[in-house]
A and B are shown apart, each in its own frame.
Chain A
Amino acid sequence: MKRKTEDTISNLEEMAGEKSKEKYILKLYVTGMTPRSMKAVMNIKGICEEHLKGRYELEIVDIFQQPVLAKGEQIIAAPTLIKKLPLPIRKFIGDMSNTDKILIGLDLRTKK
């Protein structure tokens, strides 16, 4: 953990420059094919295509089908998006209609 922090600090400038090249791993947990689920899938796909084209992995998980994952990932609300990489892990709940909040959370835009 300490080493990581040092890495982060020493590579801060480097990272800032490479930010646009970082790979994103995202998981979206939905509950079946409800309208809200569909909307969330559509929204996040749009954001990813627009801002992260070519450097993201988006996995969509239906927790109806795999309820064990809900426990493992501490899912309570649906839909939930988890940003696995880059660290830190972050959770987004809702239908992903608030694009600004998502972009800030994904470190794709700084707060104004």
Chain B
Amino acid sequence: MQKMMSALKKCATGIQGLDEITQGGLPKGRPTLVCGSAGCGKTLLAMEFLVRGAVQFNEPGVFMAFEENAEELTKNVASLGFDLEDLSKKKKIVVDYVYIERSEIEETGEYDLEGLFIRLDHAIKSVGAKRVVIDTIEALFSGLPNPNVLRAELRRLFRWLKAQGVTAIITGEKGEGTLTRHGLEEYVADCVIMLDHRVTEQISTRRLRIVKYRGSVHGTNEYPFLIDETGFSVLPITSVGLNHKATDERVPTGIPRLDAMLDGKGYYRGSSILVSGTAGTGKTSLAMHLVNKACSRGERCLYMASEESAHQIIRNAKSIGLDLAPWVKKGLLHFHVARPTYSGLEMHLVTINKLIREFRPNIAVIDPITGMTNIGSVDEVKAMLMRMIDILKSSYITTLCTSLTHGGQNLEQTVVAVTSLMDTWLLLRDIEYNGERTRGLYVLKSRGMAHSNQIREFLITAKGIDLTDVYVGQGMVLTGSARRVQEMKEKAESVVRREELERVKRELERKRLIMEAKINEVRAEYESAEEALLASVKEQELKENALAADRGVIAGMRKADASSKKKGRIYKQK
């Protein structure tokens, strides 16, 4: 059972991306059919397979060409950086050019293609080839008179190739309603790769699809590919899985107050951030802050701009107090400026992929992503952006994308509907009130952190972006001068209220003082009356006493009474 499960052996092509789609490469020791219309890159794919085999995997190869001779081939692939001449000298690659001219050939009875077999066999043995390319065998159909013989011989050829144990690529021209003009797919049934070259709205895209891969799992989508100066590259983006690890590491935003809104620490490293807003709300400025901060920590930043030149961005950054020029000099900041319409979506993707590989940034800024919408349908753009974000995320690159929302559109909806792909979404909005436009910033979402729900006023000053509190109260949210006016008004009101209170307090104090004064006065009056009264009483008493004493003296003198009691009674009666 275990043995039966052992998977098909694969032969790595070394072509960027193709091995990922096929999960390891082409079926080892079997022929693969590469078909497509003229000019779609069949020969190149086949040639790169051989060259990479020879250079990277030390597997020599044979190129049997029916359409171009060795010199033409050498010249053609030299433009892609392959030195075929050198490889031929080193006995790594043999090019065998098969020349057939129908007019020179006369059929005189039964024949077979043993000659071809012998040539191929000889070429394989001369370098010990493990890889074989036959490009394109359908030339035989036009070169030889009897298609029946040819079909039988082709069947034999593919069987023979399998028996030789070489991994082969057979190319075939696309036919009407069939994969190849002469139905090669009938013979080569193990693996069929189809190449396509389409032009939509003046922008061409190349695509690759694995039609069939016997005995192996493979991606079934159409994958964009690119032929550039380094050869073939397929983008296996839709196969990029969502299995990147998430870190707890944070990346400061460059604006302390914004950090505070995002759980006090900033964005997550490797997360994707969307800054959306209408024109002139400060999206780019926000991006500049992130870049400046990251560069000052020594991180590498890739700034992909499609609306402004690098110089313009640097100049504009200066106006808000950020000097980006030194970072460019130090090699920490790299600008990639290209108009979106410069190339197709896939080309952009490939370019970005390449930049990431070469520059290895920690932070990437795409300013703006909405520029891409001009070069494809919404679905295509969305798919492309999804792939791009996947690539960036899987490389742990913190990505900030700006998105322009047009006036009148729903602010909470971006043109390309990528918001669901984003981890953090900052919404910048214009607040127009009382003839003044001010900027507000919301954190619409920020996955995995406790973020602020409060709108903040967003100020662009000569010293950079500043976030201030907005006026919240009395059922109103005010920003800008309206906020200041309201604040001043409130301040004034509170001063008035405070003064009023003071005044009342003082009044009370005064009343108390008056009352106390009155009390004192009454008391003083009373005291003086009491004093006078007491004095007169005393006087009277003294007078009485004096009288009594006088009377006693007189009585004594008269000897009228002997007892003193009677004396008192007499006194009382008086």
Q: Which residues of A line the B interface, CB within 8 A?
A: 29, 31, 36, 40, 43, 63-64, 67-68, 70-71, 74-81, 89-98, 101-102, 105
Q: Most chain-A CB neighbours within 10 Å: which of B108, B109, B112, B115?
A: B108
What A residues does B104 contact at CB under 8 A? 89-91
**B57 an interface residue at 8 Å Cβ cutoff?**
no
| In the complex, chain A residues whose CB is within 8 Å of the CB of B118 | 31, 63-64, 67, 70, 75, 78
A21 and B440 alpha carbons, distance in the complex (Å): 104
Bound-state CA distance A34–B140 (Å) is 23
* Contact present for A78 and B98 (CB under 8 Å): no
* A86–B109 CA distance with the chains assembled, in angstroms: 23
Residues in A whose Cβ lies below 8 Å from that of B140 = 76
Q: Does B96 contact A (CB under 8 A)?
A: yes
In the complex, what residue of chain B is closest to A94 when comparing beta carbons?
A: B109
Asked if residues B114 and A31 are in contact (CB atoms below 8 Å), the reply is yes
A–B pairs, 8, beta carbons within 8 Å: A40-B109, A71-B123, A75-B119, A76-B98, A76-B115, A92-B106, A93-B107, A96-B108
Partner of B108, one of A74, A75, A102: A102
Are B111's CB and A70's CB within 8 A?
Answer: no
Within 8 Å by CB of A31, from B109, B110, B115, lies: B115
Residues B119 and A36 in contact, CB atoms below 8 Å apart = no
Residue of B nearest to A30 (CB): B114
Query: When A91-B104, A93-B106 are in contact, do A79 and B122 touch as well, CB less than 8 Å?
Result: no
* A104 CB, min distance to chain B CBs, angstroms: 8
Closest chain A residue to B98 by CB distance? A76
Q: Is B547 an interface residue when CB atoms closer than 8 A count as contact? A: no
- Quick check: is B99 within 8 A (CB to CB) of the other chain? yes
Contact, CB under 8 Å: B108 / A77: no
Residues of B within 8 A of A94 (CB): 107-111
The answer to whether B113 touches A36 (Cβ under 8 A) is no
Residue of B113, B115, B116 with highest tally of chain A CB at under 10 A: B115
| 13 more CB-based (< 8 A) A-B contacts, given A36-B111, A71-B123 | A31-B115, A63-B118, A71-B122, A75-B118, A76-B115, A76-B116, A78-B118, A92-B105, A93-B111, A96-B108, A101-B106, A102-B106, A105-B106
Q: How far is the CA of A2 from the CA of B45 in the complex (A)?
A: 42
In the complex, chain A residues whose CB is within 8 Å of the CB of B99? 74
Q: What residues on A are CB-neighbors of B100 within 8 Å? A: 74, 76
For the complex, give the distance between the alpha carbons of A29 and B99 in Å. Answer: 16
Task: Pick the most buried of A63, A93, A97: most chain B CB atoms within 10 A of its CB.
Answer: A93
Number of A-B pairs whose CB atoms are under 8 Å? 97
Contacts of A70 in B (CB 8 A): 115, 118-119, 122
Q: When chains A and B are docked, how far (Å) is the Cα of A68 from the Cα of B115?
A: 11
Which residues of chain B in 416-459 are interfacial with respect to chain A, using CB atoms and an 8 Å cutoff?
none
Chain B residues near A63 (CB, 8 Å)? 114-115, 118
Contact assessment for B111 and A91 in the assembled complex, using a CB-CB cutoff below 8 Å = no
Q: Say yes or no: A77-B115 contact (C-beta < 8 A), given A67-B121, A89-B104, A90-B104.
A: yes
Question: Smallest distance from the beta carbon of B312 to chain A beta carbons, Å?
Answer: 61
User: Interface residue tally of chain B, by bracket?
Assistant: 20 to 34
List the A side residues contacting B310 at CB < 8 Å. none
B211 at the interface (CB under 8 A from A): no
Cβ of B266 to closest chain A Cβ, rounded Å: 68
Given A74-B99, A76-B98, A76-B113; A97-B108 close (CB under 8 Å): yes
B144 within 8 A of A: yes
Residues of A within 8 A of B107 (CB): 92-94, 98, 101
- Nearest CB on B from A16, distance (A): 22
Chain A residues near B115 (CB, 8 Å)?
Answer: 29, 31, 63, 70, 75-78, 80
Query: In whole angstroms, how far apart are the Cα atoms of A14 and B104 in the complex?
Result: 26
Minimum distance in angstroms from B360 CB to a CB of chain A: 48
CB of A92 within 8 A of CB of B108, answer: yes
A97 touching B109 by the CB < 8 A rule? yes
Task: Determine how close the nearest CB of chain B comes to the CB of A112; give it in whole angstroms.
Answer: 17
Interchain CB contact under 8 A, A95 and B119:
no
The answer to whether B122 and A95 touch across the interface, beta carbons within 8 angstroms, is no
| Contact of B111 with A77 in the complex, beta carbons under 8 Å | yes
Task: Closest B residue to A93 by CB, please name it.
Answer: B111
**Residues of chain B from 113 to 167 with CB closer than 8 A to chain A in the complex:** 113-116, 118-119, 121-123, 140, 144
CB contacts (< 8 Å) of A91 on chain B: these are 104-106
Contact B96–A95 (Cβ < 8 Å) = no
In the bound complex, CA of A111 to CA of B96 (Å) = 36
Q: Which residues of B contact A74 (CB under 8 A)?
A: 98-100
Give CA–CA (A35, B499) in the complex, Å: 127
Best-surrounded residue of A40, A67, A96 (most CB of chain B within 10 A): A67
Chain B residues in 8 Å Cβ range of A79:
111
Q: Which residues of A contact B114 (CB under 8 A)?
A: 31, 63, 77-78
> Given that A29-B115, A91-B104 are contacting pairs, would A36 and B110 also be in contact in the complex, using a CB cutoff of 8 Å?
yes
- Chain A residue numbers with a CB within 8 Å of B112 are 36, 77-78
The reply to whether B109 and A96 contact each other, CB–CB distance below 8 Å, is yes
1/0 contact trace for B345-383 toward A, CB 8 Å? 000000000000000000000000000000000000000
Q: Which of B100, B110, B144 has the most CB of A within 10 A?
A: B110
> B108 to A101, Cβ gap below 8 A?
yes
Which residues of A are found within 8 Å of B109, using beta-carbon distances? 40, 43, 94-98
